[in-house]
Amino acid sequence: MRQVYVLNGPNLGRLGTREPDVYGAETFADLAALCRDAGRELGLSVDVRQTDDEAELIGWLHEAADGKIPVVLNPAAFTHYSYAVRDAIAMRTAPLVEVHISNPAAREEFRHTSVVAAVATGTIAGFGLHSYVLALQAIASLEVAGA
């Protein structure tokens, strides 16, 4: 089974209590279970992680690059300003799909710019937790196509 990392940035561990009108009522545990179940159906072994620490996230991105491991990444607030996360993504050796639960383009102005989008394989946003399922499907498709 092909391994995939699902990496999540700051505050996503607070799903279910953090702005439920924006992010929904599901918890991070619900998200992790959804990703593992969707991955299993797609023949992927999914490792779901979350951190509020930029350095830890960068370390995981390096680990993925070194292991040629595809990544589904919700960089959260790092999306808009972390050139360090952007540079770590640029070193990727396998597909990386940027995901967002909400649609950043429909939110506050400062959320409209993603510094990581240009170095990701693609971006999926605005479909709630289903954004992750769509991203895993994209990874599975790219893996089959040999991308």
pLDDT tens string 110-146: 666 789 999 999 999 999 999 999 999 999 999 766 5
Owning domain of residue 41: 2-145
- Residue 51's CB: how many other CB atoms inside 10 A? 18
Positions marked active-site: 23, 100
The confidence score (pLDDT) of residue 70 equals 98
CA dihedral 110, 115, 50, 59 (to 10 degrees): -150
Name residues whose C-beta falls within 8 Å of residue 129's C-beta, 6 or more positions apart in sequence: 24, 26, 30, 31, 34, 101
Q: How far is CA 95 from CA 25, 36, 45, 67, 108, in A?
A: 29, 18, 15, 12, 29
pLDDT over 90 for what percent of the chain? 73
**Mean pLDDT score of the chain:** 91
Is 111 labeled as ligand-binding? Answer: yes
Number of domains forming the structure of the chain:
1
The confidence score (pLDDT) of residue 15 equals 79
In angstroms, rounded to a whole number, what is the distance separating the alpha carbons of residues 43 and 31?
18
Q: Rounded mean pLDDT of 50-65? A: 98
Q: Does the pTM exceed 0.85?
A: yes
Is 14 labeled as ligand-binding? Answer: no
Q: Rounded mean pLDDT of 28-56? A: 97
Is 101 labeled as ligand-binding? Answer: yes
In angstroms, rounded to a whole number, what is the distance separating the alpha carbons of residues 79 and 48?
18
CATH of the domain at 27: 3.40.50.9100
Q: Among 25-29, 59-63, 130-134, where is mean pLDDT lowest?
A: 25-29
Is 47 labeled as ligand-binding? Answer: no
88 or 147, greater pLDDT: 88
Q: Is 3's pLDDT higher than 70?
A: yes
